[in-house]
Structure 1
């Protein structure tokens, strides 16, 4: 069996579909590509590559199929598992810091051998059975810490985000489609403190400001960059095209498609 023949499997708690990473996870791509964005940088994962995607980060990622196939292996390193692991093993910290939400891992035969070893443990649904899932997670984590000791500073940091500059954070991350509660958490505030500070800074409610800010950016992209509404609405944090179109017309008195036609 070759690395490229590995089938998809998923080990650990479910990942939220939100553009917020609630738990660290390891991902390996066997087929296809994945594009990621964390508000600061764009990332690309190719077949045969792997990375750690970090918790308490805003991140957007999409898959690109190869010959109509997309095969990946995902291991979730949730906090209860990591705390249990830490009790069993001596964790050494390296004072490593990084702002990246996607931490690329170098290719190594240890990772390849581990991935190939998973096949006998797949159950009928294509996942690792519950009896072996924690054992295989522990094995993978031991391998990753051997290859990348600096990961200990990322994975075993159980702190919560500190208080951030609210205006700067929101101007940088308004395109991410997450709840007000998530924004409050990531800026180091309670929900009530977040709403209070937000009103002081923007003189607007968070939900209304987010919609207006996204629509302003949409208008700029259509007028100045001649981009199509169908190409931008998801990247701007709108869940569907109809919601975007309705909001755009309500805000500007013209549909996004009509505006694009005027610009031609």
Structure 2
């Protein structure tokens, strides 16, 4: 759905980006983690989160102080824009989930022009929605023409190196179906290839990998269990503690106290 969305906590917990997302920070600060790098954006900064990627959103300011503007570019709109403007995707290799955009007076002026059309909690007046989406995309492509290879590439994810991908993305708490899609496989092919590479099932490997990462963070860096369990893909602290003790024979809290 193309709209400027109301900011809620569930948006900040979203890990799979289904559509290209343009984000402009009016106030506050947010960080993104894509499995490799952490990107931090503050007031006046903007970026694009790419579709079909895994990203963790970490709010650095209070919800009340955080004020972003979000534009979600869905495939239907992008195809219509491409046909109208005869835009074609240029050959350009870019694998990052987050695209940092340079500060620009054009974007700043556009953001100011959007403000009069807000309705309620950051919802754009429907009469101006298509116009403003088109205007923003024109600005982005003028500032960074290489973005055509991002916006107008409608291919599904291709089959990629499973071992490298999973060792980067194991912290993300998404379904096996999602991992299969993002590595260019059916679910059955994903499970088969996974077993061949890692010699155990995806579910078991993910738990073990996260627990061993947790052990390093607790024992070597003195990190508190409450600080790391969500970042490592566990849904609750109790589940994390039980699994940790089953794997290592000691709770993470006890291990921390022994340092």
1:193 to 185, 189, 195: 189
Residues 86-235 of structure 1: matches in 2 within 5 Å?
86-235=82-231
Alignment correspondent of 2:258: 262
For these two proteins, the number of residue pairs brought into alignment is 253
2:258 partner SS: helix
Change (3 A) 1:125 1:168: closer
Deviations 1:113-134 (A, max 9, x none): 1111112211134311333222
Query: Does the Cα contact within 8 Å between 1:18 and 1:177 map onto a contact in 2?
Result: no
- Structure 1 segments unaligned to the other structure (5+ residues): 1-8
What's the C-alpha RMSD, in Å, of the aligned pairs?
Answer: 2.0
1:10 partner SS: coil
Query: Does the Cα contact within 8 Å between 2:13 and 2:57 map onto a contact in 1?
Result: no
Q: Which runs of 4+ in 1 moved over 3 A?
A: 14-18
1:98 partner SS: coil
1:215 partner SS: helix
Moved more, 16-25 or 238-247: 16-25
Residues 239-250 of structure 1: matches in 2 within 5 Å?
239-250=235-246
Change (3 A) 1:228 1:146: same
2:119 partner SS: coil
Instruction: Determine the C-alpha separation between the residues in 1 that align with 2:42 and 2:120.
Output: 27
Alignment correspondent of 1:72: 68
Determine if the alignment matches structure 1 residue 10 to structure 2 residue 9. Answer: no
